[in-house]
Amino acid sequence: MKSTYNIVQHFLQAAEKYPNHIALIEGDNSITYKHLAMEVKQMASYYRHEGIKSGDRVMVFIPMSIHLYRSVLSLFYIGATAVFLDEWVGKKRLEYCTELAHCKAFIGGWKLKAMALISKPLYNIPLWLEPGAYKYYQSDERIELVPQEHTALLTFTTGSTGSPKAAQRSHSFLNEQFKVLKDKIKPYASDVAMPVLPIVLLCNLGVGACSIIADYPSRKPETFKAANTVKTLLKNKVNRITSSPFFAKKIAEHCLQNNIELPFLRNLFTGGAPVFPEEASTYLAAFPSTDIQIVYGSTEAEPISSISAQKLLAEKTLNKGLNVGSVYYKTELKIIPIKMEALNFECKDELNNFELKAGEIGEIIVSGDHVLKSYFKAPDAWKQNKIMVGNKLWHRTGDSGFVDKEGKLYLCGRTKQLIKQSNGEYLSPFVLEGRLQEINEISIGTILQKNDGLMILAETKSNSNKELILTKIKKLLPSGIKEIKLVDLIPRDPRHHSKIDYEKLKLMHC
């Protein structure tokens, strides 16, 4: 890569090559690559006029929309850093992230501006950038070429088990992610795609593909109704979806319930939460002619591995862990003993000797050019989550798992959720969760430590026979279970509404 660079160049090259391709569709509105490139340059001119310069941080608090990508691309263009916050964040988290990032300006709707009147951290941000003001400015042709490690984007982790960390993505890191996504997803300029994951849409904009922004309520994903989205998929002949498992499952269930086929859907990629065999069977029933890939990764490392829905379903039930497939060839992976403290190794041989053998459960650590190198203003988080061995950086995923003798990776859940038994072996709530999902009457369930015993919690579907459910659960019981509780709702993570929010669950039931 050049010593100076700008990630937005991928988009500008696509706009030059495919000026008349539709770049984005949002409801009844659409914009071509040529028009979007012009507006990006106009907005860059406006930002510079307002005093935003290379290195400045700008908070972006906008839902997925044409406006979001116009804004973010413009910030990249002038070398500023986009501080991206999900639309679902609450006031407390918003203020924490605002104080940490210390932004020069913010871009958001009237709700954010109104909140600034009662929030000191927001009120102290010097500039509020008007969404439509760019229209009065001429295109600025001066793209800012920056050093490779110049920060382009700050995105915050969910922070469900503590304060959220800001993942610091440089222009070179985003370029590595772009190359990996191109390699894994294989987007074409002729694609009409629905990427519900924002970073994948940026990849689409780098190749000339058309992206349709889903009508998805990110603030309240549990209220999502798939009917209108399915109509949009059919109307636009969408051939690729990239989404969370929750979104994919809702689309699949609607299609099955209403005998709807999506004949143009060539690829479905889903990730961000575990997919168990029962859910994979739903995808396959709804989309029998689609290549369905389930991707395992994290904010800091995407992808780590992947498996087709067919191969996952072939296992039918979980044994020691969930098969998440073959490790991506650009990802180096090791399984190490589970330790909660920070880790240091003097040399490669010391780490290699620490590594566990095939079949042994431990923590998954990964390395590669597409693995995040740094957090913003979080030295303690870096120390806890990173291992530097010589010139190689390893990321501790916080996930437990093992690699079998054939090289397949199996996931056993978060290391902090494992329950160590008297015989020294680990009991995995994650594995039990997968088995609970095999019971048709259960939506989701888990196991928690309560005082001196273990408790199973299961969210039942409406109008289910509770006696039948209890009978089925008892067949799965590990030793030490003292209570089984059937509940109407188990809290999910706010980002994808696919994973259990364990901290909230413990507050509710322990």
> Would 308 be classed as within a structural domain?
no
Supply the mean pLDDT for the chain. 92
Would you say residue 162 has pLDDT above 80? no
Kindly tell me the number of DSSP H helices and DSSP E strands found in the chain.
17, 28
Number of domains in the chain: 4
442 shares a domain with 377 = no
Give the number of other CB atoms < 10 A from CB of residue 19.
Answer: 16
Would you say residue 2 has pLDDT above 60? no
Q: What is the CATH number of the domain that holds 451?
A: 3.30.300.30
Would you say residue 50 has pLDDT above 80? yes
Write the DSSP symbol of residue 222: G
382 shares a domain with 423 = no
> Over the stretch 205-222, which tens digit does the pLDDT of each residue have?
999 999 999 999 887 888
Query: How much is the pLDDT for 61?
Result: 87
Overall size of the chain counted in residues: 510
> Over the stretch 112-127, which tens digit does the pLDDT of each residue have?
778 888 889 888 999 9
Residue of 91, 157, 161 whose CA lies nearest to 507: 161
How many percent of the chain have pLDDT more than 90? 73
Q: Which of 130, 157, 176 is the last residue of a domain?
A: 176
Query: How much is the pLDDT for 494?
Result: 76
Q: What is the CATH number of the domain that holds 257?
A: 3.40.50.980
| d(C-alpha 108, C-alpha 116), whole Å | 11
Q: What is the CATH number of the domain that holds 410?
A: 2.30.38.10
| d(C-alpha 285, C-alpha 367), whole Å | 36
> Would 194 be classed as within a structural domain?
no
| d(C-alpha 473, C-alpha 469), whole Å | 6
447 shares a domain with 411 = no
Which of residues 435 and 452 earns the better pLDDT score?
435
**Contact between residue 119 and residue 61 where contact means Cβ atoms under 8 Å apart:** no
HEC profile for 470-507? HHHHHCCCCCCEEEEEEECCCCECCCCCCCECHHHHHH
Would you say residue 160 has pLDDT above 80? no
Query: How much is the pLDDT for 255?
Result: 98
**Contact between residue 291 and residue 266 where contact means Cβ atoms under 8 Å apart:** yes
> Would 386 be classed as within a structural domain?
yes
| d(C-alpha 71, C-alpha 132), whole Å | 11
What does the pLDDT average to over 478-506?
84
Query: How much is the pLDDT for 474?
Result: 87
502 shares a domain with 460 = yes
What does the pLDDT average to over 343-349?
96
Q: Which of 296, 325, 358 is the last residue of a domain?
A: 296
347 torsion bin: left (phi>0), alpha (psi -120 to 50), beta (else): beta
| d(C-alpha 222, C-alpha 247), whole Å | 10
Would you say residue 398 has pLDDT above 90? yes
Give residue 320's domain range. Answer: 315-415
Query: How much is the pLDDT for 482?
Result: 83
Min mean pLDDT across 60-74, 296-310, 465-479 is at 465-479
Write the DSSP symbol of residue 371: B
Q: 252: which residues sit within 8 A by CB, 6+ positions away?
A: 282, 283, 285, 286, 287
> Would 207 be classed as within a structural domain?
no
Strands, E, within 261-361: which ranges?
A: 267-271, 291-296, 305-308, 322-327, 332-336
Listed in sequence order, the DSSP H helices in 29-185 are 33-49, 66-77, 91-101, 110-116, 120-123, 171-185
148 shares a domain with 9 = yes
348 shares a domain with 375 = yes
Would you say residue 510 has pLDDT above 70? no
Query: How much is the pLDDT for 365?
Result: 98
| d(C-alpha 35, C-alpha 139), whole Å | 11
- In this prediction the pTM is 0.92
**Contact between residue 439 and residue 474 where contact means Cβ atoms under 8 Å apart:** no
Q: 29: which residues sit within 8 A by CB, 6+ positions away?
A: 66
Q: Which of 377, 399, 415 is the last residue of a domain?
A: 415
144 shares a domain with 52 = yes
Could you tell me the pLDDT band of residue 496, with boundaries at 50, 70 and 90?
A: low
Min mean pLDDT across 49-63, 175-189, 458-472 is at 458-472
Strands, E, within 418-461: which ranges?
A: 419-420, 426-427, 442-450, 453-460
452 shares a domain with 464 = yes
Query: How much is the pLDDT for 486?
Result: 94
> Would 64 be classed as within a structural domain?
yes
Nearest 5°: phi and psi at 166? -95, 110
Q: At 410, is the secondary structure helix, strand, or coil?
A: strand
> Would 301 be classed as within a structural domain?
no
52 shares a domain with 151 = yes
> Over the stretch 412-430, which tens digit does the pLDDT of each residue have?
999 998 988 777 778 889 9
Give the number of other CB atoms < 10 A from CB of residue 326.
Answer: 14
Residue of 127, 128, 125 whose CA lies nearest to 99: 125
Residue with tokens 């009237």: 110
> Would 197 be classed as within a structural domain?
no
Could you tell me the pLDDT band of residue 164, with boundaries at 50, 70 and 90?
A: confident
> Would 241 be classed as within a structural domain?
yes
457 shares a domain with 431 = yes
254 shares a domain with 328 = no
> Over the stretch 354-391, which tens digit does the pLDDT of each residue have?
999 999 999 999 999 999 999 999 999 999 999 999 99
389 shares a domain with 431 = no
